A and B are shown apart, each in its own frame.
Chain A
Amino acid sequence: MATMGVSPDINGFRVIHPLDDVPEQKCSTVGLGKIRMTRAVRASLGVLRAYLILMTLMLGYHILDLSGLLHKIR
C-alpha cells in the first residue's frame, strides 16, 4: 500500500516519518531475471569490458615494470 507520509488529522495534517510509515510496494526484480540485452545495454557493457581489459593491461605492464622484468627484457 503506497502512502504519502501525510494523513488528514482533525487538527490539520499528520506528518509521518518514513521509518514509522506503512511499507510501500516497491519496484521488484522478482521474476524478472537479468536485464534485457538491448543494443544500448550490449554496447555499454562491451565498452566497459574493453575499458577494464585496457586497465588490466596497464596494471600488468606497471607490475612488470616495478618488478624489473621489463628492464631485463630490454
Chain B
Amino acid sequence: MRVMEPEDAVTTPAAGVVVRSAWQRRIVTFLMVFGPGLIVMEADNDAGAVSTYMQAGGQYGLHLLWLLVVLLPICYFIQEMVARLGIATGKGHAAMIYERFGKWWGRFSLLDLLAVNFLTLITEFAAISLALSALGVSPSISVPVSAVGLTLMVVTGSYLRWERIVIALCLMDLAWFVLAFMVHPHWATVAHNSIVPTMPAGGITSSLVFLVIAIVGTTIAPWQLFFQQSCVAEKRLRFADLKWARLDTLIGATFTICVAGAMMLVGNYGFEHKVAFQDPAQLALALGRLPATSFEIGVLLLMVNAAVLGTTAISLASAWAYGEVKGWEHSLHKKLWEAPGFYATYIACVGAAAAIVLIPHVPLQLVIISVQVFAGLILPSAIIFLQLLLNDRELLGDRWVNRPWNNYINWTIIVVLFALSLLLAAQVMLPNLFQ
C-alpha cells in the first residue's frame, strides 16, 4: 500500500464542536458524517422506482414485499464497499477504474454510465412533467423551472448547502408512510408477506418474473456506485469515519426499503379496489375521486420529489465521474468559474434532458428500453470492478481489502445480478424467446 501526501498544508483546524461526554462525541461525529449514505439510497427511489413499486403493488398486491426485505442487505453490502473504497482512496469510482484497469475499461465504464444516466434523466423530467400536468401546471413551465431549480441547488459553491437541501428532500419521503397509513392496509398481512414469500394468484408468470427483475434493477442502480464513492471523497471522510459511514449507509438502505414498501402499499390500494393504472399519476387521479383528495396531491408531489432527488444525484454522479476522468476540478466546494467543466457537465445533463422532454411525441418507451439495456451493461461491470478493487492489496493494503466472508457474499450477489441483468436484457431485446 502506498499513501498519498495531502495536497494542502497541514494545519491545526480551529473549527469544531466541543462536547463533554463520549456519547455526545459519538452522536456529533455521526451527524457530521451522515449524508452520503442516506442520499444515495433515497435518491434511488426516483420516479422510475415509484412507478415500479406502485406497479408491483397494483398488479400483485402485497405478495412482493418479501423481495424488498431480501434487497436490504444486498443494497447495504454493495454500498458499504463503495463507501470503504471512497474513504480509503479519497477518489471516485470512475477514476479508480481508469487508473487500475486502464483506458479501455475506463472509457467503456464512463461512456456507459453517462449514457444510462442521461436516458434516466429524461425519464425523471418526463415524470415531473406528467405529475405537474396532473396538478394543472403546463410542462412548458414545470420542466424549465425544475431544471433551473436543480441547477441553482448545486452552483452555490458549498457541498454542505447542497447536502442539507437534499437531506431535507429525502426526509419529505416520510410522507409516503402517511399515505400508506391512509389506505388502511391489513397490517398482519403486511408483516406476514414481508417475511414469508407468497405466490400471487396465477402462479409464476413471465410478467411476474420480469417485475421481480425490474424491482431488483430499480433498487440497485449503477449510478449509485459512482455517486456514493465520489460523494464520500467530496466530503473528505476520514479513515476513522468508516464506522459512521457504514451506519449512514445502513440507515439509508433501511429507510429506502421502508419507503419502497410504503409505495407498494399505496399501489396495493389500486389492486384491492380494482383501479387499473399505467403510471402513478393515473392511480393518483383515480384515488382523487375517493374521499381523501389530499391523497391525490400527495402522490403527485411525492412523485415530483422523487424525480428531483433522482435528477440531482444522477447528474452529479455523471459530472463527478467525467470530471475525475478528465482531471478537471470536480467539486461542489468550487465556485462556478473555478470548476467550469464539472458544472457545465451537470448543467448540460439537466438542460438537455429537460429540453428533450419538451419535444412533442418523444418516444419514451424507447428511452425506457434503452435505460434497461445500458444498465444491463454497466451494472455488472461496475460491480466486478468494485469487487476487484476491494481485493487489490497492492492498492489498499490489508486494512481495507474485503474479508473472506465479504467476498463470499459479494461474489454471490454479483453472480445473481449478472444472471438477472442478462435475463432482463434478453427479455427486452429478444421478447420472442419468452412468448
Contact = CB atoms under 8 A, between A and B. Distances in A.
Contacts of B28: 15
A17 B17 CA distance: 8
Interface in A1-49: 1-7, 9, 11-32, 34-36, 40-41, 44-45, 47-48
Interface size on B, as a range, is 35 or more
B212 interface: no
Contacts of B428: 62
B16 A20 contact: yes
B155 interface: no
Nearest to B373: A59
Given A22-B10, A27-B3, A62 B430 contact: yes
B159 A19 contact: yes
Contacts of A28: 2-4, 89
B238 A34 contact: no
Contacts of B388: 35, 40-41, 44
Contacts of A40: 388, 391
Interface residues of A, number: 47
A52 interface: yes
B20 A7 contact: no
Interface string B32-54: 11000000000000000000000
A5 B384 contact: no
Nearest to B393: A36
Contacts of B326: none
Interface centre among B159, B160, B239 (most CB of A within 10 A): B239
Interface in A44-73: 44-45, 47-48, 51-52, 54-55, 58-59, 61-62
A26 B83 CA distance: 14
Interface string B1-32: 11111111011110111111110110011001
Contact of A13 (B3, B25, B236): B25
Contacts of B16: 7, 14-17, 20
Given A18-B241, A26-B89, A35 B6 contact: no
A18 B18 contact: no
B394 A25 contact: no
Interface stretch (B58-66, B95-103, B203-211): B95-103
A55 to B, nearest CB: 6
Nearest to A38: B391
A4 B376 CA distance: 40
B429 A1 contact: no
A44 B216 CA distance: 22
B177 interface: no
A19 B162 CA distance: 14
A35 B394 contact: yes
Given A27-B395, A27-B397, A40-B391, A5 B18 contact: no
Interface string B80-95: 0000000011110000
Given A17-B16, A51-B422, A59 B4 contact: no
Contacts of B24: 12-13
B242 to A, nearest CB: 11
A52 B377 contact: yes
A16 B28 CA distance: 9
A29 B397 CA distance: 12
B237 interface: yes
Interface string B169-213: 000000000000000000000000000000000000000000000
Contacts of B19: 12-13, 15
B400 interface: yes
Given A27-B396, A35-B388, A21 B2 contact: no
B100 A21 contact: no
5 contacts: A18-B235, A18-B237, A27-B397, A35-B388, A61-B429
